[in-house]
Structure 1
Amino acid sequence: MDTGRANSIEIDIERLWRDLDASALIGPGRAGGLRRLALTDEDKAMRDVFVAWCESAGCQVRVDAVGNIFARRGGLDDTLPAILIGSHLDTQIAGGRYDGILGVLAGLEIIRTLNDHGVVTRRPIELVTWTNEEGVRFQPPMMGSGAFTGAHDVAWVHAQLDDDRKIFAEELSRIGYLRSAQPLPEHYDSYFELHIEQGETLDAEGLHVGIVTGGFRTFGTELRVTGENAHSGPTPMRRRSNALVGASLLIARLNDIGWTFEPEGRTTCSRLLIEPNRYGIIPHSAKLTVDMRHPDDEKAREMYQEFLDFVPLAARKANVGIEIAKEWSFGDVVFDSRLINLVRSVAADLGVSHRHLLSAASHDAYNVAKVIPTVMIFTPCREGISHNEKEHIEPSYTAPGVNVLLNAVLRRANA
């Protein structure tokens, strides 16, 4: 029986790439990427394939009440807390083939590699794919990991609606992934998440691994602007209550705040819905989603407060009502120092080029880090392009990072 000598084995990169290519056939986008939104038929198809792959690798598969899928590879002592590896399989509307997906399938490749080499670890290893990380169809993002960690109540998650007023729980049941397993944070020793960088640092510097120390502090909110439907011809300017004008004032101020906090501050309005959205009619309703990000917590809070202070001014100027429908925040996380040191040591032993990085994007690891020791590993993506169908990575500069993940997990599982 082999318990695995550190740094002695490597993944099968060709097999991993076959899995990535197979994933890319499920919910293909228009330009070579993916459109695989949470709890859609495409999501179900990918989940079914993933479960079959995990079971073929000898894993025991469980699904919890919000559709998170856990695949367990037993250890010598199954009573010990397991090592958890994961990310997500859902995508943006016009998303890439690798964002999140690489992290899940890299975890599967690690299990297969350990099987190939007959390695039995002291601790169990589990692979997870989190539900609705992207937050495209149901908001907020990172919903599945939020429920797992207690940040969201399961009943609240179940009640969330998409734009067509379809209910989360009913859609989860429809695709066959409303189950009752109850994995808890205390069942896990540590969490590892591998992800493409979604930034250009590694690609520009020719490095293979980013060791993520923390994230940009992010504040997000959904606002609803209420005006009055009226004809655009006869209605005098003084009598108008134009919801789109109110939303536009908010968006313009948001953009100004981002420029004020350049180069590290970022502000975005990513979503705007107006009604009735018809020619000749003054909109009576607008709904917009915004976020503000900065690596410094205090400055991120300052950005958010500046935006909130402007909301009543925009309401008065546009003669509309504005309410905050939802608020969320993430990124106030520092990843586990011991796991960071472990990943750095493994990278050095393997001769893999690396550096420390902050993550400007959000990840399930942000939620998990609050309840389980967590570390993130970044691998390069070409020109930092992500959430885009042009997203691209290559086996040659991805394999080193997955091998670092493999050997870091192996060391921790045998500790």
Structure 2
Amino acid sequence: MDQGNTAFILIAAALVLLMTPGLAFFYGGLVKAKSVISMMMMSFGAMGLMGVLWVLYGYSIAFPSTAEGATQVPWTIDFTNFGLASVLETPEGAAYPPLAFVAFQATFAIITVALVSGAIADRAKFGAWMVFAAIWATVVYFPVASWVFNFGLADDGSFSYGGWITHGMQDVFGVGAIDFAGGTAVHINAGAAALALALVLGKRVGFQKGAHVPHNPPFVLLGAGLLWFGWFGFNAGSELAADNTAALAFVNTIAAPAAALLAWLIVEKIKDGKPTSVGAASGAVAGLVAITPACASLTPVWAIVLGLVAGAVCALAIELKFKLGFDDSLDVVGIHLVGGLIGTLYLGIFANGSGLIYSGSLTQLLVQAIAAFAVMIYSFVLAFIIGFAVDKTIGFRVKNEDEIAGIDTVVHGEEGYVLSDTRG
């Protein structure tokens, strides 16, 4: 067993876990002051819920054991591994303990679910959110993670590719879809679900451009900084080894978001006259989203180009909700869905070796598109059905008067900012 790589994976897992509190700050600063606890609690609720479900059965759905080289069907459950029963010991000859990989992927499940919550800020019931999150993770995230990642545990203790999006399409087209760290499984998946929930819950009271402004931009900047820091574990850690590929992913995780940050600010300056701190944070996150699937398959120069494209396009894409009339409160669609699509499809042109400019073939672009749109459609349809069912049974949205007043005290009995204590 390689103790260096084991330590690398465990540290990466801790970094990715930090992303969810970072997301809580990022989202919390974007909402109004009387909704900040509600917003942050949806991220922390995802940490608690997914941490338990992943151990009980999430891992057994996402990573069923497989014979070496075998391709899994799109929806497989490993009934022998509930409660992680079959990965408690390290097989002889394994490069690292299976539990290290379990921990790393658990943090992916947590952040993906938490991302969805940004679309329903200021108006969702916490209990209804938790019910939705549990069902959506079970029937959407866990299977999709298997489609994309699915390093099935082979008899010799190694992990072999088995997901239909990667290994399966390679059997058909000669190349599989490239998604190194989760552009489809995490960002397109969460963005599509966010769009579905925004449609189910409807618009906030008084929804219009300029009506809802971030109450705490320093929180937004703090959250973006924590996200960027944790994202090094997200991207470089996905190599599962401290090697040159991890180093390339690390460098690209600096370059692309930096370029996206600049591009977003330039668009803001041209469009609105002023570059904003929230724009800088949002641009960095857009770049991080776009580079996620591509971080190990681009040269750093092409990573900068990707960041520039993602930053500029996402800065314009967040206006779609006003043009199309859906209320995606914190721009999950404009940043994560659009950014994830950009990063995933970009690989079809610029991926080292197999992209169009290197191979002269559009095959890589074809498989990237199949992967992206399959995940998007699957997630959107099921999220809409689940959200609609939750809304019609227990109710998903708070009363309008509670939304106007701010839902922190109604839902959680707390205030984010107690400026004076008037109690006895």
Report the TM range for the smaller structure's normalisation.
under 0.3
Of structures 1 and 2, the larger Rg is shown by: 1
**TM-score w.r.t. length of structure 1:** 0.25
**TM-score w.r.t. length of structure 2:** 0.25
More helix by share: 2
More strand by share: 1
